[in-house]
Amino acid sequence: MKILVTGGTGYIGSHTVVELQQKGFDVLIADDLSNSFPETVDNIADITGIKPLFEKVDLSDRTATRILFEKYSDIVAVIHFAASKAVGESVKKPLLYYRNNLNSLINVLEMMEKKNIPNIVFSSSCTVYGQPDVLPVSETAPLKKAFSPYGNTKKICEDIIDDTVAASDIQAIKLRYFNPIGAHDSALIGEYPQGVPNNLIPYITQTAAGIRQCVSIYGDDYNTPDGTGVRDYIHVVDLAKAHVIAVERMLGGKCKSPSEVFNLGTGRGYSVLEIIKSFEKVNNIKVNYKIVARREGDIEKVWADTSFANKELGWKAERDLDNMMLTSWQWELKRKK
Ligand code: UFG
């Protein structure tokens, strides 16, 4: 059974392709390589022994999307990762983000309707909750105004999916990720941040590797145990496995409603300082850091109520923080080489 993975050479996409192949699925990757590299396809093949099909396609281009779906008539489900994802860039270039993220989803859904492909897994984010009133945050929490155009595209995409599901035979599973980090044990795939990293873990690994001088901790006056921001960090391989379960759930006709939504986190929050200390301890390396002012748009703290995903999907994050720190560093070292 062929699964189309859009954005399949990207960070979460590539890990998901590996897990799908290891479960026996036939995978077709569609990616425009705007934020990833073609070598990832070979690296996936090195891990699994199977080279996934690959098409370089910009899915925000309606004609190109149509040609892709015309070429492959045996797609049974789509996992839609393809999107721009830099929060800061989205503030500076909102139209780019709305055009890319909304058009690609609309084009994919349109072709799914046309070709009678009834299953989509969508890559959403905990950003839709903003700063939640209650922690841990569950799927029933109210959605808040997005802090960035990127975050808003995730909210709007969820609405587009729900409206499409209501009017068609398509069923959807929307997965709201907390903070994905770590890399595959092989260190053959991982995240490639372009330029100066925005996210905490690549900043830490690049500082430890001597590429950056010092990690800036954005604020130590938050209402958290040590004053630094708290997030629910989840290993990308755990996240990838949840996508396979979601696909199997849809193909097995086990969905309880035509549009389901699940939080994907560990259920536990760690502060920025805890992350740096853990990285230093696990990898036996010092990381320079300094406290600076809060970063605009950051929330104070968030972690997931994962009970719904645990119960309904039979999925639970298995990797601990040590493993996240270890694999992140192994990946940085491999890339340095
Ligand atoms: N942080 C630092 N220094 C850095 C980078 C980050 O102190 O150099 C802190 C942040 O202030 C925050 C934590 O580390 O407290 C995590 O920051 P990240 O940038 O790694 O992640 P965010 O939680 O800000 O962003 C993530 C995803 C986004 C998504 C957002 C939703 O990367 O895609 O969650 O809240 F939109």
Atom of ligand 1 nearest to the CA of 275: 14
pLDDT of residue 277: 98
Please give the C-alpha separations between residue 104 and each of 32, 62, 180, 302, 324, in angstroms, as whole numbers: 11, 8, 23, 29, 31
1 pLDDT above the threshold of 90:
no
| DSSP 8-state symbol, 51 | P
**Are 117 and 221 in the same domain?**
no
Task: Look over the chain and give the mean of its residue pLDDT values, rounded to a whole number.
Answer: 97
Residue 310 lies in a domain: no
**Are 69 and 159 in the same domain?**
yes
Residue 194 lies in a domain: no
**Are 15 and 138 in the same domain?**
yes
Residue 313 lies in a domain: no
259 pLDDT above the threshold of 90:
yes
pLDDT of residue 224: 98
CA pair distance 303, 229, nearest whole angstrom: 11
Name the closest-CA residue to atom 12, ligand 1. 229
Mutate which of 157, 191, 295 for ligand 1 pocket (most atoms within 8 A of beta carbon)? 295
**Are 280 and 136 in the same domain?**
no
187 pLDDT above the threshold of 90:
yes
Residue 191 lies in a domain: no
Q: Domain count of the chain?
A: 2
Structural domain boundaries enclosing 209: 200-230+268-302+319-336
The one-letter amino acid at 198: N
**Are 124 and 146 in the same domain?**
yes
Give the angle 55-75-67 at the CA atoms, nearest 5°: 45
- 333 CA to centre of ligand 1 in angstroms: 22
Mutate which of 85, 143, 145, 179 for ligand 1 pocket (most atoms within 8 A of beta carbon)? 179
Using a 6 Å CB cutoff, which residues line ligand 1?
A: 85, 87, 125-127, 150-151, 179, 198-200, 203, 215-218, 229, 231, 272, 295, 298
Atom of ligand 1 nearest to the CA of 294: 11
Average pLDDT over residues 34-42: 96
| pTM over 0.95, yes/no | yes
**Are 237 and 294 in the same domain?**
no
297 pLDDT above the threshold of 90:
no
Of 248, 264, 280, the residue at which a domain comes to its end is 264
Residue 253 lies in a domain: yes
274 Cβ neighbours under 8 A, 6+ residues apart: 226
CA pair distance 92, 9, nearest whole angstrom: 25
CA pair distance 98, 104, nearest whole angstrom: 10
194 pLDDT above the threshold of 90:
no
193 pLDDT above the threshold of 90:
no
- 75 CA to centre of ligand 1 in angstroms: 35
Band of residue 66 on the pLDDT scale cut at 50, 70, 90 = very high
* Contact present, 310 and 316 (Cβ < 8 Å): yes
**Are 216 and 238 in the same domain?**
no
**Are 96 and 218 in the same domain?**
no
- 131 CA to centre of ligand 1 in angstroms: 13
**Are 209 and 249 in the same domain?**
no
Average pLDDT over residues 261-281: 98
Percent of the chain scoring above 90 in pLDDT: 96
| DSSP 8-state symbol, 315 | -
Name the closest-CA residue to atom 8, ligand 1. 200
**Are 251 and 204 in the same domain?**
no
Residue 329 lies in a domain: yes
pLDDT of residue 75: 98
The CATH number of the domain holding residue 67 is 3.40.50.720
- 200 CA to centre of ligand 1 in angstroms: 6
Two tokens at 65? 């999307």
**Are 140 and 210 in the same domain?**
no
pLDDT of residue 80: 98
**Are 137 and 213 in the same domain?**
no
Average pLDDT over residues 307-321: 98
- 218 CA to centre of ligand 1 in angstroms: 9
**In 10 A of CB 88, how many CB atoms?**
13
Mutate which of 35, 153, 218, 289 for ligand 1 pocket (most atoms within 8 A of beta carbon)? 218
Percent of the chain scoring above 70 in pLDDT: 100
pLDDT of residue 170: 98
Catalytic positions, written as ranges: 150
335 pLDDT above the threshold of 90:
no
Residue 187 lies in a domain: no
Atom of ligand 1 nearest to the CA of 178: 34
336 pLDDT above the threshold of 90:
no
**In 10 A of CB 268, how many CB atoms?**
17
pLDDT digits (tens, 9 = 90+) for 198-226: 999 999 999 999 999 999 999 999 999 99
pLDDT digits (tens, 9 = 90+) for 112-158: 999 999 999 999 999 999 999 999 999 999 999 998 999 999 999 99
The CATH number of the domain holding residue 213 is 3.90.25.10
Name the closest-CA residue to atom 6, ligand 1. 200
- 301 CA to centre of ligand 1 in angstroms: 10
Residue 249 lies in a domain: yes
CA pair distance 217, 272, nearest whole angstrom: 7
